[in-house]
Structure 1
């Protein structure tokens, strides 16, 4: 059986980091430190994009302080609150020269509405292609895939139509990412998504937890929290196709993994990787 395409675009040499939200920005900076370390050698400029946030004037200084503490030579604070700003030549230039591009949290639909089809998004994709690290937290993580969750209360999920989906930023294929996953009880959101299309791997990010999406299709969990994977590829059955909207969904044989820092997952092989196996596989990769 051919595995579903769940990876970065084949030409990308950079790295994605999806963060579940509420990451440490003032103490050990464990996740942000790893993000910064993944930047191309010699490029210590960081672009922080607060498009998703309704309070960019509060969010941006926090990341400026954190990345400056980590050694950033410059931190570019980019609000990008409308499509005119998403086409701005100077903004595009700042992204083009950054080794790290970081999306803040907020509302993922604002991200796609403002950035979709823009010069800024094109520049971000080109930076990923050329080896930069693109990271996002909360909404900034959820918007990364080609398809994203943008609404749906956890209490109402696992009923047909309870989870709303739309197109994301298209930085990675075959994954559906949800944030604040454990803290807000969002298991059923990814279960409904998996029943709707078993090809997609669900990635549920707990707070202060993240997953590195390596260019060759390996996931690596980092941070103090949990990364939950919901794998529906071998789903045996579900009644979802025959239901009316709002009716409860039945699911047979959906696989769940709980990863902690140092553990990983081979997307193509659908194989859980304990730390030794992950380290070996990453060492073999180009």
Structure 2
């Protein structure tokens, strides 16, 4: 049984990493040992689980079906074994978080240093990506997302600021040359710097003043991938390339320095801050339990 679990874990690691070398590097084992484990597993099951080429490794249809059930199942096995972690003086292990770029930039920097200081035997493995994510299938213990992107079958607790706003701003030189918008619809006549999700969707810009809500989809000279390209868009805005629409906290240093000037500030729409979410297991892995308790204590202090 132990050997079978080991082979299943090897398959899961290779499938998630997209290759034997990548999985071996992150797991601290050799690619040949992973390859041998997969060979044994496929021989035992009598089906091919992974398509292999010199460039990539992709699950077969049978592999995809196995992955859908295997990720949560092995997660429960790990959680069961982790119960003994609660008897240690300090929790030990890896905590894997899946978070959007906004949380990595605006939420985690104030939380992680004191958490890591309090729990030196915990290793945080943070994956930054946008969109809807099945955290169990992705091999993560928990995630951070906003209310509209939370899975309904998860437990969610507040993390970070409880109220945020999307701010709109531009360099003073741009506004002197092109004029200052007086209404959100005026943005349709301006150069705007947009973001696009991995799915290809570009979020509209939403504004609110009193009871009036306005949604616009402006155009402009630059589109960046939400996540890794956001800093490029900020730099472009500072350089005078156009108007940017982003988290107020992200733009705050530039607004305070004068590098950017607020645009339509009375229209900046508030929204609820992010949540930490995780599966509703009876026994949480000790690193996750420690992080949940730490986050809740921080919210009480606020």
| TM-score, structure 1 normalization | 0.28
Q: Which has the higher helix share?
A: 2
Computing the radius of gyration from Cα coordinates, the structure with the larger value is 2
